[in-house]
């Protein structure tokens, strides 16, 4: 019989899935089926007897990604694999070994670093504002994941934070560490440091971990920090079965300590490493991939993405749109123009859940929400409250839980509908743009989940499923247009993507002044572009500061982008002419090499 884990794979995916032994590096471009390859590879290893599930450690960076990995493995019939984030895996080991090593219970975890920093600041007689405290918290995180002492930090970051000169930043960090120790707490970065220290100092702990885990998989390897890499090496010991998966072009957390060199240099560090390249994209139209490829051409580790099925005589099932760029006079005009495009798509029958508007900074979302509300279009802003943290959702889950103990007089879905109606769900939504509409959309999403549940689902089973979803951060999709920063959009996809703010000072952001910082902004733009499946629209506005179109538009060139909309006369087309970008050329003179 054919192993189910091997079905539906292309040749390169099959090569990655069936290479079960020794070091393997999978260079997986956007939309090339990375998670599918990871889970099918583990499942194939288990199915063939090469792996015992309890001996596999699969590590990723978010709880949501880890939950998705576990769910996919369950669907393939594989249970017992340790699929966790770096922090969750390290914390589990600390909690398990600490009582034996330290003869005491493990320390607690700091739940709010900024609040603790505020208390530490009070102790040394300074009163930085909340924004400064947040920046200092980020500096602490960077210091620890790059494995620097406070003195080494001061030498590496001599400019201070905000109005705090470096001496005060150092004093505040020392006060923070002292207060944390007094309270017998660890912050998230300490969890990794403490786990690494325990493995280094306690041979019996290291031996136990090495005996437990024989096969390692690391997702998003381009985002690994020096501390995470060190911990991975300690977990692995002399084990050779390690598979790392990543895409250097999606390295967007260098500012937080991520180092893509671990991915780029993996084959050199492991002489016998098998290198597999995944460049067939199953998400995006070929015209969108052309834009992405032009933007990243010549960058270290860049992959050349091709659309699945490209070059075959079979025509596309429907006409595709060439990606366009539109310029506007100001930010309000840009938001209204994008909102009008979105409204036209929805009027043509597109599900709002398949549309996203992406931008560089959270501050760009407010005008968009207002512009979309004028068209009665509801929105979800990623990075805001999580779905299961919304008061309306918590209230609904509690009410459904209470109703589950009583005999049902109606069908399961009807019972859910009755409960949600008692909480305010109406047949028609309220006007978009306010808290009432947000609450309505959340309750409607719960009702859709109930209506889509398999036959035989009980009310108690449904509430159990909701609680499991909350724990795994598996949120249902609301019938809303998604607004998200480029960072928050990573790992997600939509049919139709509008990427606004493609102007100097916004993308790249104004404080990106070095070559490395601008390169990170380029990768952010690449992440945004490759979220799009069917259509891609880019826009920018002059604004009050007479911004110029982003240098990235010149690098992409007019050969893969068309000027769009009636407002293009003040935007992309004329600006390209002013900047000397010839028609049909990439105009790459601005691209550093």
> Binding-site residues for ATP, please?
28-35
Rg (CA), the chain: 25
> C-alpha 321: how far from its chain's center?
27
Nearest-5° angle of CA 176, CA 179, CA 185? 100
| Rounded Cα–Cα distance for residues 496 and 102 (Å) | 54
370 class by beta-carbon count within 10 Å (0-12 exposed, 13-18 middle, 19+ buried): middle
DSSP state letter for 548 = -
Question: What phi and psi, each to the nearest 5 degrees, are found at residue 119?
Answer: -65, -40
Cα distances from 508 to residues 34, 68, 218, 481, in angstroms, run 28, 32, 30, 25
537 has which bridge partners?
A: 324, 498
Identify the three-state secondary structure at position 83: strand
| Rounded Cα–Cα distance for residues 213 and 236 (Å) | 8
Q: Given the structure tokens 């050969």, which residue do they identify?
A: 559
Neighbours of 473 (CB within 10 A): 16
Question: What phi and psi, each to the nearest 5 degrees, are found at residue 452?
Answer: -95, 0
Q: Given the structure tokens 């009702």, which residue do they identify?
A: 447
Q: Given the structure tokens 């490493």, which residue do they identify?
A: 273
Identify the three-state secondary structure at position 418: helix
Known binding site: residues?
Answer: 28-35
């Amino acid at each position: 019989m054919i192993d189910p884990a091997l079905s539906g794979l292309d040749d390169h995916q099959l090569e990655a899935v069936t290479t079960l032994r020794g070091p393997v590096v999978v260079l997986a471009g956007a939309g090339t089926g990375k998670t599918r390859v990871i889970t099918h590879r583990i499942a194939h290893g288990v199915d063939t007897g090469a792996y015992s599930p309890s001996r596999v450690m699969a590590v990723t960076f978010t709880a949501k990604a880890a939950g998705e990995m576990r769910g996919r493995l369950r669907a393939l019939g594989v249970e017992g694999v340790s699929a966790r984030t770096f922090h969750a895996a390290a914390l589990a080991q600390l909690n398990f070994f600490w009582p034996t090593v330290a003869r005491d219970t493990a320390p607690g975890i700091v739940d709010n670093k900024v609040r603790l920093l505020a208390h530490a600041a009070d102790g040394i007689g300074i009163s930085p504002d909340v924004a400064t405290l947040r920046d200092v918290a980020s500096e602490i995180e960077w210091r620890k994941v790059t494995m620097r002492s406070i003195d080494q930090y001061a030498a590496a970051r001599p400019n201070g934070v905000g109005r705090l000169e470096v001496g005060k930043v150092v004093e505040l960090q020392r006060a923070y560490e002292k207060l944390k120790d007094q309270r017998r707490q660890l912050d998230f970065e300490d969890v990794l440091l403490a786990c690494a220290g325990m493995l280094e100092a306690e041979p019996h702990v290291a031996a136990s971990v090495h005996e437990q885990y024989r096969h390692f998989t690391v997702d998003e390897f381009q985002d690994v920090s020096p501390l995470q890499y060190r911990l991975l090496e300690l977990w692995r010991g002399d084990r050779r079965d390690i598979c790392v998966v990543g895409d250097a072009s999606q390295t967007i957390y260098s500012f937080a300590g991520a180092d893509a060199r671990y991915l780029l240099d993996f084959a050199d560090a492991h002489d016998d490493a098998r290198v597999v390249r995944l460049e067939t994209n199953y998400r995006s139209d070929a015209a969108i991939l052309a834009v992405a490829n032009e933007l990243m051409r010549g960058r270290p580790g860049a992959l050349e993405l091709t659309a699945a099925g490209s070059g075959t005589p079979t025509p596309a099932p429907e006409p595709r749109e060439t990606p366009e760029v539109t310029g506007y006079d100001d930010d309000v005009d840009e938001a209204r123009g994008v909102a009008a495009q979105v409204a036209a798509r929805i009027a043509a029958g597109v599900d709002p859940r398949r549309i996203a508007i992406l931008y560089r900074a959270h501050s760009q979302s407010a005008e968009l929400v207002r512009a979309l509300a004028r068209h009665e279009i509801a929105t979800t802003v990623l990075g805001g409250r999580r779905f299961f943290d919304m008061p309306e959702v918590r209230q609904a889950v509690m009410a459904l839980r209470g109703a589950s103990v009583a005999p049902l007089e109606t069908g399961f879905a009807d019972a859910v509908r009755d409960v949600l109606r008692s909480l305010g769900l109406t047949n028609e939504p309220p006007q978009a743009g306010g808290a009432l509409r947000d609450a309505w959309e959340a309750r409607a999403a719960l009702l859709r989940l109930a209506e889509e549940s398999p036959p035989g689902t009980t009310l108690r089973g449904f509430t159990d499923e909701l609680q499991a979803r909350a724990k795994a951060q598996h949120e249902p999709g609301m019938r809303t247009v998604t607004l998200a920063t480029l960072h928050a959009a990573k790992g997600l996809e939509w049919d139709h993507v509008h990427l606004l703010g493609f102007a100097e000072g916004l993308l790249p952001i104004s404080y990106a002044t070095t070559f490395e910082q601008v390169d990170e902004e380029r990768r952010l733009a690449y992440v945004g572009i490759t979220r799009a499946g069917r259509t891609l629209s880019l826009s920018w506005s002059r604004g009050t500061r007479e911004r110029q179109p982003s240098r990235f538009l010149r690098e992409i060139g007019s050969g893969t982008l068309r000027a769009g909309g009636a407002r293009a006369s003040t935007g992309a087309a004329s600006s390209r002419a002013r900047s000397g970008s010839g028609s049909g050329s990439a105009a790459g003179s601005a691209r550093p090499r």
